[in-house]
Amino acid sequence: MTPLLDIRDLAVRYGRITALDGVGLHVDAGEVVAIVGPNGAGKTTLLSAVAGIVRPVAGSIAFRGEPILGQPLERTVRRGIALVPEGRRVFGGLTVEENLRVGAVIRRDRAAAAAEIARFMEIFPILHERRNEPAGRLSGGEQQMLVIARAMLSDPALLMLDEPSLGLAPKVTDQVYALVADLRARGVTVLVVEQNADRALRAADRTYVLNAGRVRLAGPSAALRDDPAFEAAYFGMGDAA
């Protein structure tokens, strides 16, 4: 079976600094796959390369069997890939509802998009309650819910989340990952980057450990939780998978 996302031998450099060095991974349709590693491991760069924000110097990226390496972000979104970047980047001066409408701008079926906006406001009652308020006034957890909902309004086949639990209280993090489970149940494939390895291992079907731009370990999350090599790989002392 052809993976939904297939990355092979990917390399990204920023001047003389190598951010990714021969990275390979795949994501099958219907999976939740995690990429974990410390700060500076290359996790965000990897998602940015898939999204078309940075241009790799080598390797390949295929989505639904078609090459997408180096294509612009807008085309990536139209192909069915949505990225929720680190830092909960809401449009602070726009209202909550206007933020959601931005996410649906590529949708041709306006009635379906409006129904989706209503559905997410039902899932997150706080978004409905504050729909006419500037998004910049939301709490960190509320903003995270908003940006995930906004990304989903582009109707993606693959949702990429960059550090979704960063800076959030444990209870709010639980809500975010409950949403991830709900999206997966609805047929959305999820690729999540996390520094919180324990949270990622509990949420994902498979996990890749990335450190210093290389995959150090990979496998089913349940197996990695009990693997004595996991800690060494996470901190950059293991061999590439």
> Has residue 132 been placed in a domain?
yes
Structure confidence at residue 237 (pLDDT): 63
**Does position 155 have pLDDT exceeding 90, yes or no?**
no
> Has residue 134 been placed in a domain?
yes
DSSP bridge pairs for 26: 6
> Has residue 144 been placed in a domain?
yes
| Tokens, residue 199 | 């949270």
> Has residue 239 been placed in a domain?
no
**Does position 217 have pLDDT exceeding 80, yes or no?**
yes
Give the chain's radius of gyration (CA, Å): 18
> Has residue 65 been placed in a domain?
yes
> How many structural domains is the chain composed of?
1
> Has residue 241 been placed in a domain?
no
Burial 95-130 (b: 16+ CB within 10 A, else e): bbbebbbebbeebeeeeebeebbeebbeebeebeeb
> What are φ and ψ of residue 34, in 5° steps?
-110, 145
> Has residue 187 been placed in a domain?
yes
Cα gap 31→145, rounded to integer Å: 21
Q: What is the pLDDT of residues 60-114, one digit of tens each?
A: 999 999 999 988 888 999 999 999 988 778 889 999 999 999 888 887 788 888 8
Domain that holds residue 201: 5-234
**Does position 222 have pLDDT exceeding 70, yes or no?**
yes
8 Å CB contact between 166 and 85: no
Instruction: Kindly report the CATH number assigned to the domain that includes residue 217.
Output: 3.40.50.300
> Has residue 90 been placed in a domain?
yes
